[in-house]
Amino acid sequence: MALFKLAFASAVAYALYRYINREKEQVRAAFASGESTPGPVEVRNAGPEAMASDPPEWDKVDQASDESYPASDPPAANRFT
């Protein structure tokens, strides 16, 4: 019986949480203002100008890695290329 009360209380708490947060716009920490694509999955545009905070350093490898996201492999670059 106590398990059912706990489950009911959890369901009520979750429903209340969803009701309170139903119309809040989600702010993505990694996105600069206006730099996301609309749709079910938001994707940030490539490059440091699309980031909310400026990286301290940005080179060709960083740019290639950012442009290749969400690829499973990092760009094939090293200090000799």
End-to-end alpha-carbon separation of the chain, Å? 67
Domain boundaries, the chain: 46-75
| Whole-model pTM over 0.75 | no
Q: Nearest 5°: phi and psi at 44?
A: -80, 140
The span from the CA of 75 to the CA of 66, in Å, is 9
Residues 6+ apart with CB under 8 A from 31: 42, 44, 50, 51, 52
% of residues, the chain, pLDDT over 70:
75
25-55 residue pLDDT tens: 666 667 777 776 777 777 777 788 877 777 8
Q: Can you read off the two tokens belonging to residue 8?
A: 């009911």
